[in-house]
Amino acid sequence: MSYKSPLLSLPGAVPAEAPDEGVAAHYGDLFREQRTLADGGGLVDLSHRGVVTVSGEDRLSWLHLLITQHVSELEPHRATEALILSAHGHIEHALYLVDDGATTWIHVEPGTQGELIAYLESMKFFYRVEVADATDEYAVVHLPAGSIADAPEGVVVRETPHGRDLFLPRAELEPFAAAHGPVIGVLALEALRVEAHRPRVGLETDHRTIPHELGWIGTAVHLQKGCYRGQETVARVHNLGKPPRRLVFLHLDGSEVHLPGHGTPIRLAADGEEGRQLGFVTTSARHHELGPIALALVKRNVPVDAELLAGDTAAAQEVVVEP
């Protein structure tokens, strides 16, 4: 059954499209919502995201063996992020987690919690851990950096430089939104994410993406630990080679009415629309200050100063991942 947030009943709510179905794209004024969020106001309804909990005395040492991040000694209430890779080092899941001293709380992309839990359950063996799908009980709410809103007592908070993610009991979602609004749609948060060059699984990734291509080395991958699936690829590329592709930030031609969608081919502007495809747009957005912007994944050997075409839209690139 598809999810529909109760906050979609608020005035002006426009439903979001994939992969964010179930929450609002915006509430009638995209740029105003962006400015409010950038200034530390409002909250974003992320109640469509999956929530997974891991409890038990072995939880951190066990997770340490499975994910790309060093978490065996993770301090309570310290936020981190991690990846789960395939045996070939390709990104399968991004985990946004925090431990409260008794339980590790994780939120993931909408609808992916079942697949993640199936993998975690298959790796339990003799470890004293319990994995649970808490999506029906808890909703993720994002408060921007600088927000003065207080989290309700007892609510687990994941605090990062980009803001705070609250694991809020679903019964408290509407009262909390009423007390700490305005509620802001996910398109505003996505625009700020693109501005900050932060990748997202399912948008910046495909079936062969490795962490090096997206700049996730250092933030979600700890290079001084081993013993996780895909670690050989991470070490080999880091020590001996270069990733085949790299993430770039694009300033798009503001005279175009439409934004190039996910998957739009990237070509050299000098070669025109019939030129060889060198990559694809991953996420595009309209930013309240920068205008139309995008993230794209391109081949490593694309010159960093080359003018590009995103479909039929001219694009100037900024380096995110060094070639």
Angle at 237 between CA 235 and CA 242, to 5 degrees: 155
Same domain assignment for residues 81 and 125: yes
* 14 within domain boundaries: yes
Averaged pLDDT, 233-255: 92
* 58 within domain boundaries: yes
Domain of residue 10: give its range: 6-49+137-196
Same domain assignment for residues 169 and 181: yes
Last residue of a domain, one of 133, 163, 188: 133
Residue 138: what pLDDT? Answer: 98
Instruction: Quickly state the pLDDT bin for 256 (edges 50, 70, 90).
Output: confident
Q: Backbone phi, then psi, for 19, in 5-degree steps?
A: -95, 20
Last residue of a domain, one of 94, 111, 133: 133
* 236 within domain boundaries: no
Same domain assignment for residues 112 and 144: no
Same domain assignment for residues 110 and 177: no
Same domain assignment for residues 282 and 305: yes
Count of C-beta atoms within a 10 Å radius of residue 277:
12
pTM of the model as a whole:
0.96
Same domain assignment for residues 129 and 190: no
Assign residue 76 the CATH number of its domain: 3.30.70.1400
Residue 19: what pLDDT? Answer: 96
CB 100 within 8 A of CB 106: no
Same domain assignment for residues 35 and 153: yes
Same domain assignment for residues 45 and 73: no
Same domain assignment for residues 251 and 312: yes
User: Between β-strands 183-184 and 43-46, what pairing exists: parallel, antiparallel or unpaired?
Assistant: parallel
* 25 within domain boundaries: yes
Last residue of a domain, one of 100, 116, 133: 133
Higher per-residue pLDDT: 239 or 26: 26
Angle at 199 between CA 193 and CA 204, to 5 degrees: 120
* 218 within domain boundaries: no
pLDDT digits (tens, 9 = 90+) for 100-129: 999 999 999 999 999 999 999 999 999 999
Residue 213: what pLDDT? Answer: 97
Amino acid at 86: S
Instruction: Look at 60-69, 130-139, 190-199, 240-249 and tell me which has the smallest mean pLDDT.
Output: 240-249
Residues comprising the chain, all counted: 323
Assign residue 265 the CATH number of its domain: 2.40.30.110
* 21 within domain boundaries: yes
Looking at every residue in the chain, the average pLDDT score rounds to 96
Residue 247: what pLDDT? Answer: 98
Residue 16: what pLDDT? Answer: 97
SS3 readout for the chain: CCCCCHHHHCCCCEECCCCCCCCEEECCCHHHHHHHHHCCCCEEEECCCEEEEEECCCHHHHHHHHCCCCCCCCCCCCCEEEEEECCCCCEEEEEEEEECCCEEEEEECCCCHHHHHHHHHHCCCCCCCEEEECCCCEEEEEEECCCCCCCCCCCEEEEECCEEEEEEEHHHHHHHHHHHCCEECHHHHHHHHHHCCCCCCCCCCCCCCCHHHHCCECCCECCCCCCCCCHHHHHHHHHHCCCCEEEEEEEECCCCCCCCCCCCEEEEHHHCCCCCCCEEEEEEEEECCCEEEEEEEEECCCCCCCEEEECCEEEEEEECCCC
pLDDT higher than 90, residue 152: yes
Same domain assignment for residues 118 and 162: no
Which residues are 104's β-sheet partners? 54, 99
* 180 within domain boundaries: yes
* 222 within domain boundaries: no
pLDDT digits (tens, 9 = 90+) for 296-308: 999 999 999 999 9
pLDDT higher than 60, residue 1: no
Same domain assignment for residues 37 and 150: yes
User: What domain count does the chain have?
Assistant: 3
Same domain assignment for residues 251 and 271: yes
